Amino acid sequence: MLEPLRDVLAWAAVFNHALAVEEIHRYIAEKASTDAVERALQDASFAVCTNERWHLETAAYDPSHAEAQRKHAAAHLREVGPVLAQLAASPTVEAMAITGSVAAGVNDEDGDVDLLIIARPGHVWRVRALAIYLQHNVPGGHRICPNMVIDRENMGLRPSVYAARELAMMRPLEGHDVLASLVESNAWFREHQPNAVMRSGFELPAPSGGMPWWWTVMRAPLTGRWAERWEAGRRIRELQSNSTSEETTYARDRCMGHENAHRSRIEREMGRILREGIA
C-alpha cells in the first residue's frame, strides 16, 4: 500500500494540501479499509500528520493557509449558491455537481467554482449558453466555471487517474441518480478508486431569479433544435480554433474546456514531488 499512499499524498502536495484519513481512503488506488489505510500511514516513513491531516514529509504544509483556503471555499459556495440554484432549476440540466478545489473543500481567494453539468440529450450547447449567461449577468455568477457539459446519452470519459479522482471528489447539486449512472458508465473508475462512494451533496438556496427572455425560444421544440445546431456550430468552431490544449473536447455532445491543461500540469508536478521525495 505504500506506493499508492505516496501517490495520493503527492497529488495533495501539488495543491499544498493535506488530507484526513477518510479522504486518503477515498482516493487511494488500492482496495482497503479505513483502518488499514490509517495503520499504513502510521508506518510510512514519508508521511507526517499535522492537525489530524496527513502530508508528505518533504512537502510544505501550512495549517493556517489551509484554514484560509477552507474559508474561501465555504464563502465562494455561499456566493454562487443562488446562481447554481437558478441553473439547476432548468429541466434541461439533468444533473450537476461541483468539482475541483471547492469540491475538495479548499479554494484560493480568487478561485473559481468548477461545474460538471449533464444536459438533457440534444441540449449541451444551449445549457452551456445559459450557464455562460448566468456567469456574466448574475451577481456571484463570475465565480462559476462550467468547464464540463456533457450529454446524458454519452457519459463516457477518457480514462485517467486524474479523471477518476475528479469523479470521486465531486459533490452533487442535482440529479444524484444521473451522477451515479455517470460513474457506472465509466467502468475504469473502479480500477483507480476502489473505495470511493458518492459523496453527500450541497443543499441549494432559493434561485437568484428567473430565466432570461431568450431561454423560452431556446427551449421551444422547433426553434430550440435550430438554436442548438447554431450555437454548437459557431461555438465549436470558435473554441477549436483558439484551443491550445490536448485535454479539450468540443463536440455536439460535449464541451470539455480544459484549456489550462490541468491534468498534465498536475501529473508533471506530482512526478517532480515524487522524485524529490525519493532522492
Domain of 22, CATH number, reads 1.10.10
What average pLDDT does the segment 244-255 reach?
92
How many H-runs (helices) and E-runs (strands) does the chain carry? 12, 8
| 75 contacts 26 by C-beta, under 8 angstroms | no
| 266 contacts 11 by C-beta, under 8 angstroms | yes
Instruction: From residue 249, give the alpha-carbon distance in Å to each of 103, 107, 186, 202, 267.
Output: 23, 26, 17, 28, 19
At 60, the pLDDT band (50, 70, 90 cuts) reads confident
Q: What is the mean pLDDT of the chain?
A: 93
The verdict on residue 26 lying in a domain is yes
Query: Residue 106, SS3?
Result: coil
Percent of the chain with pLDDT over 70: 98
- 176 and 117 fall within a common domain: yes
Number of domains in the chain: 2
At 70, the pLDDT band (50, 70, 90 cuts) reads very high
Range of the domain at 33: 2-61
Residue 260 has pLDDT above 80, yes or no: no
The verdict on residue 66 lying in a domain is no
Residue 224 has pLDDT above 60, yes or no: yes
Say what the pLDDT of residue 16 is: 85
- 18 and 148 fall within a common domain: no
- 132 and 223 fall within a common domain: yes
Whole-model pTM: value is 0.94
- 95 and 219 fall within a common domain: yes
- 41 and 147 fall within a common domain: no
Say what the pLDDT of residue 278 is: 62
Query: Residue 146, SS3?
Result: strand
- 211 and 252 fall within a common domain: yes
- 204 and 98 fall within a common domain: yes
Digit-coded pLDDT (tens) for 105-127: 999 999 999 999 999 999 999 99
